[in-house]
Amino acid sequence: MAWLVCGTIPDQSFSLYLGTGHCDPEAGLLHLADLDPLPVQRGSATLVATAFLAAHCLHMPPPDVLLVGDTGDGSGSRALYARLAGMLGQEYGETRYAGLTFHYLFPELDGHNRVLAALEDCEQRPLLVADAGFMYAAKMSGYAQSYDLFTPDAGELAFLADEAAPHPLYTRGFLSAGEADVPELAARAWKAGNAAKNLLVKGQSDVLVSEGQIVARVDEPMVPALEAIGGTGDLVAGLATALLHKGLPMHKACLAAARAARRAGALARPTPATQVAAILPFIAQALQQTLAEDEPAMPA
């Protein structure tokens, strides 16, 4: 079965696109059918490019993608929600996807809930992964625990832990968002029903959480320059998508994604001025090394 990645491109002229494509890692370009190539800078394009590269490395077909232009007013995202709900509910009758990954989408509750309702009606519900804006919508809807994986950073985790905040900008100040606060925030988010069953919290240490409890951490390789590079979290989400599509168990897929993203960053020898596209040529090598070694994560 296929996998579907849903997200946005920060270009209002980019029309709704459903299909697949490939990534040219050396050029840092995402190719979708006969459309103009998209530069991979950060956001959904980075996640999709990484998932394409990882799928090729894993000898799998690339995921399908459903993308739309949206610069923040939500109109493109609403069109995507409507198209997706229709695909899941009427066009196909039964979803043909093993899983779906939702990325930067305007957090519009009605659209989110229509999509989730269509998914819940499926006889065999696909795995559901969410990051960024769609993760906000999932939390705000009250159905966060319907998801299998969220991939927040520590700041987004504080938002998930704050049952009163409608958006990360309004997270209450008493909820700290440092690395040391992850265990408390993860437990609080799960108890409040605002977290997916599994969390891969991205940061200086990547922390895997299951039902509010820390399972493992990934600290190596430590590449301090990666902290300053926008889009490195999108690499992790793209790798997790491909590994889950391959059929790896959830925890193994998450830990391998975290390790491979760190390895790719180390191979790129980045500086704080490095752009995320410079890491793409090293995705395949890093993933191969990670799966070959299958090293254990540091105990929680």
pLDDT in tens, 22-57: 999 999 999 999 899 999 998 999 999 999 999 999
Range name among 11-20, 114-123, 236-245 with the lowest pLDDT average: 114-123
Strand order from edge to edge, sheet including 29-32: 21-24, 29-32, 38-39
Q: How far apart are CA 204 and CA 249, in angstroms?
A: 24
Which residue ranges form the domains of the chain, and what is each CATH number?
Answer: 2-299 (3.40.1190.20)
In this model, does residue 296 exceed pLDDT 70? Answer: no
In this model, does residue 297 exceed pLDDT 70? Answer: no
The DSSP call for residue 280 is G
- What pLDDT sits at residue 179? 76
Token pair 């410079």 in the structure block, residue: 278
User: Is 67 in contact with 11 (CB distance < 8 Å)?
Assistant: no
Two tokens, residue 154: 């520590």
- Give the rounded percent of residues in the chain with a pLDDT score beyond 70: 93
Strands of 33-123, DSSP E? 38-39, 64-69, 97-102
- What pLDDT sits at residue 127? 97
- Break the chain down into helix, strand, coil percent, rounded to 5: 45, 20, 35
The DSSP call for residue 37 is P
In this model, does residue 242 exceed pLDDT 60? Answer: yes
Q: 129 in helix, strand or coil?
A: strand
Rounded to 10 deg, the angle between the 75-86 and 109-120 helix axes is 20
Other Cβ atoms closer than 10 A to 300: 12
Instruction: Report the candidate in 140, 167, 142, 135 with the shortest Cα–Cα distance to residue 237.
Output: 135
Token pair 């709704």 in the structure block, residue: 16
At 162, the pLDDT band (50, 70, 90 cuts) reads very high
User: Is 298 in contact with 217 (CB distance < 8 Å)?
Assistant: yes
pLDDT: which is higher, 128 or 173: 128
Strands of the chain, DSSP E? 2-9, 17-19, 21-24, 29-32, 38-39, 64-69, 97-102, 127-130, 149-150, 198-201, 206-210, 213-218, 298-299
pLDDT, one tens digit per residue, over 48-82 is: 999 999 999 999 999 999 999 999 999 999 999 99
Residue 222 burial (C-beta neighbours within 10 Å; 0-12, 13-18, 19+): exposed
Q: How far apart are CA 152 and CA 165, in angstroms?
A: 16
Range name among 35-44, 114-123, 273-282 with the lowest pLDDT average: 114-123
The whole model's pTM is what?
Answer: 0.94
Q: How far apart are CA 290 and CA 258, in angstroms?
A: 10
Average pLDDT (270-288) is 97
Average pLDDT (5-17) is 97
pLDDT: which is higher, 94 or 281: 281
In this model, does residue 233 exceed pLDDT 50? Answer: yes
Supply the mean pLDDT for the chain: 92
